[in-house]
Every structure is written in structure tokens, then in C-alpha cells.
Structure 1
């Protein structure tokens, strides 16, 4: 596959940096010990609607799910070209602090991105990042250790099984500023340019020896069909830090609100080893 598969336009990279500085929000509210419920981050404008993060806690106050909610209007009125309005940096609510995740980067790609034969449809990238926003902002080619940090991959046991840097170049050559190194499922035989029918996919990523993000990529057209999807995630054999990690991935529509939901579920406590 083309080693440039994940290179976004520089405008999108700049948008990510701008969004990190301007659009980031703070988690809303604080959880009471032993309390459950659904808790939301602050809303941010997207298209003709809004996007917001959320976390679900069980009756013991442990996280079971984190995700994003896009209001019905969020799929309309979107930019037709890459603009800062198409990228949001969304803090998770405070109640997600026991999970491995820090925030979500949402990218709207109106022309898709490389490789276009695979991912050329208009779609959203949802980076569930396990490092903070300052670390994400610091992933820039001007950093003196940029190439070394990109090529410093985690031990294989720390990334989901089967995921690897795509063929066609080194990790440093394929690193995306403001994001990191993207990994694809090397066992997915459907990823063939010219025949792949892209609706949704899970990408994973790394930076500087760490497993750093889980990234659902979902087309706008597929979301408009109001799909219901629940599928297991491929998991690492071991974990680099303590925290709650997901076992499943969900896309659904909330019948009550009409919100489009993209979530990581089945949160399970893992110990670093």
C-alpha cells in the first residue's frame, strides 16, 4: 500500500493545531463516589449542530463507556473544503479520568484523505487520544526528535494484535503531524484499492514508543443511514499504564434525541505490565 496513505493536507494539520488552542473545553461536573450515570463534556459547534463527549459510569462509579454524540444537524452544513471549523479538540468529562483516554480529536475530511482509492469518501476521523493535547500539538516535523519518536514503536504486545505500520515506508515517513503514526489491521484482506467499500474502520496509532490512540473512521453517508453497529475491538496482549480500556466499538442513533453516537464500550480495568 502507498506509504503516504495517512498524509493529510497541511491545512488540516494547521486546523488541528488551531483547534487545540482555541476549541478545547473542560470536563463538566464532578462525580460523586459510588455514583453512576451519564456525564457530558461541553458542546462545540459542528455543521448545523453540535458535538460533545460523554462518559458512562456504573453504580460503583466505574467507567463503562466513553464516546461522542453528534446532534442531528451536525451532519449538515459542514465545510466543503478543509477549514479550522472541521477540526475539534474535545476534552472528555472529568468522570472519564479513570480511563486511559485524555480527549477526542474530531476531523471532518470533506474530500477524504490519502490513499484516496481507500479513504477518499467524505468522512469523520475520531481520534480517542491517550496522550494529552500538548503532546499531540508537539508532534511536528520541526521538533528535533520527530523522526526518532515516530520510528520508536511500542513493543508488539502493547498494540492491538495484527496492527502494524502499512507497507510503503518507515514510520517516520508515514507520520502525520499533529497526530502520530497510524497503524492498520494487517490481516484485513478487504483493504484493496479499487474494490474496498469504505463505510467505517478502526485505525490505531503510536508515538514515541507508546500506543496513543484508537481511531474510528466513519463516512458521512453511512452515518446518514442511521446504522447500528457493535463489534469487538482487537486488543493488545499487555498495557503500558493502568486504566480502563475498551473491548468494543459502537455506532448507533439515540432514538430519543436523534444524536449519532460513536463510542468505545466494555471498559475494563487493565494493569500495566
Structure 2
């Protein structure tokens, strides 16, 4: 009887140890399975910090989210004149975004008393840098508008900018209805096509360390097949002391 009890006594810890090892292995597998498939672009110096693009992929390799991160120190030591920080995309990302331009506007721009505050114009371009840089104010193609079925509801054409295109503003945005500008979503076009999506974010608003996700007003039809964002986010990560600006819920459209 003592022998039986002794054997049982030895077996119980052994069973517990085996169970623990199995659970640990399963947890590791689960953690690995749950980890997002994410790729990064190269770092670019911004202020006293750095920024880099990223793409999170679905299991089939298609893009799920595209954006960029930058450290808290990137908001310090910013240039005293308007500057575009071009962020290359990760290799093999498969998204519609060709590159991201993280543009600092020192005093803002028109319309007066609306966007005339220091802010960032975040351009997610769907054309190459060479194509973008060839856009001039004297180019008649800058005033060729997309057909009505491609224009998002409540958006109207506005200012032309060289090396960018024509900007489209959301007439329902809060800054046009008695509120101070914090962030908004702009579209951009050239030669009858929409070529960029632009979250625009006030510098002072970023310094409040927001966590904001907003829907993106969709085009009734799209001109180029691909995966288009349904929302955009401006997020602060306290543990990493960094910001994320992203286009989310990329959804296939034809």
C-alpha cells in the first residue's frame, strides 16, 4: 500500500509538470499565431525624433492597415519653415499607398482662421514621388475634377498646391461649424483622379496625446481597384512614448 501511495505521489507532480509544459507550448503557439504580420519602412529623422511607415497584413498577405509611427521627441525641434518628411513604404507591402509625406506646416494655410495654425498634413499618396513632384500650379490638369460618382459626399474642391494637387474638404467637418481645428480628413486629386488621402492634424492637438478613430467618408465608386480604408486613427501609446497615424480596415473595392 505504501508503494502504491509513493508511486501516486511521484506521478502527480510528473503529470502536473507535463501539463504545464503542454500549456506553455500551446500559449507560445497561440501568442505566435496572434502576433500581427507587420513590416516596416526605414526610419526618417523628424524633429528630434524618428518616424517610419508600417503595414499590417492579413493571413493571406493582403494589407489590413497602413500607417506610420513617430516618437514623442519628433514634435520637438521642428523646422522653422514648411518641410515635407517623406516616409518610404515597406518592401512588398501590396497596398495602394506608394509613399507617405508627413508635412509640417509652420503657420498653417488657407482658409484663414480655420487651418492657420501649426499642423501636419499627412499625405498617403497613391502616385509615385516623381509623378507628385511634377505637379505644378500652371498645369491645367490640376483643375480637371473627378467625375461626380467618384467624389465623396459633402466634399468640395479647394486650394491647389504644387507637388500635391487639388485639395478637397469635408463641409461637415467641425472646424467649419464653430469649433477649433483639431483633425480632419482631406482628399486630393489631379487630372481627374483622386491621388491621396490626407489626415490633417493640429500640432497642439497631437500634444494632448489623443486616441481617436474616425470613419472615412467613402467614394460611391473608386477609380482604381484595391483596398481602401474605412477609418483613420490618431493614437498615443504611453508605454512606447510614440504616436501612430493609420488608415484602417482596408477593404477591397472594384
Aligned residue in 1 for 2:239: 256
User: Structure 1 residue 186: deviation in Å?
Assistant: 2.7
User: Structure 1 residue 159: deviation in Å?
Assistant: 2.8
Please tell me whether the aligned partners of residues 137 and 161 of structure 2 are also in contact (alpha carbons under 8 angstroms): no
Q: Which moved more, 1:52-61 or 1:181-190?
A: 181-190
User: Structure 1 residue 161: deviation in Å?
Assistant: 2.0
Greater per-residue strand proportion: 2
Aligned residue in 2 for 1:159: 151
Q: How does 1:21-36 map onto structure 2 within 5 Å?
A: none
Please tell me whether the aligned partners of residues 53 and 68 of structure 2 are also in contact (alpha carbons under 8 angstroms): yes
Higher relative contact order (CA 8 A, sep 6+): 1
What are the superposed Cα offsets for residues 174-215 of structure 1, whole Å, 9 maximum, x if unpaired?
Answer: 3110100000113346415xx440111111110001111111
User: Structure 1 residue 118: deviation in Å?
Assistant: 0.4
**Uncovered stretches (5+) of structure 2, i.e. residues with no partner:** 1-34
Q: Give the alignment's TM-score, normalised by structure 1.
A: 0.76
**Residue 71 of structure 2 is aligned to residue 75 of structure 1:** no
Aligned residue in 1 for 2:113: 117
- Mapped to 1, the partners of 2:180 and 2:74 lie a distance apart of 24
- Mapped to 2, the partners of 1:199 and 1:57 lie a distance apart of 30
Q: Give the alignment's TM-score, normalised by structure 2.
A: 0.81
- Classify 1:160/1:96 alpha carbon distance in 2 versus 1 (closer, same or farther; 3 Å): farther
- Mapped to 1, the partners of 2:143 and 2:237 lie a distance apart of 41
Secondary structure in 1 aligned to 2:162? coil
Secondary structure in 1 aligned to 2:161? coil
Aligned residues: 220
Question: After the TM superposition, which segments of 4 or more aligned residues of structure 1 sit over 4 Å from their partners?
Answer: none
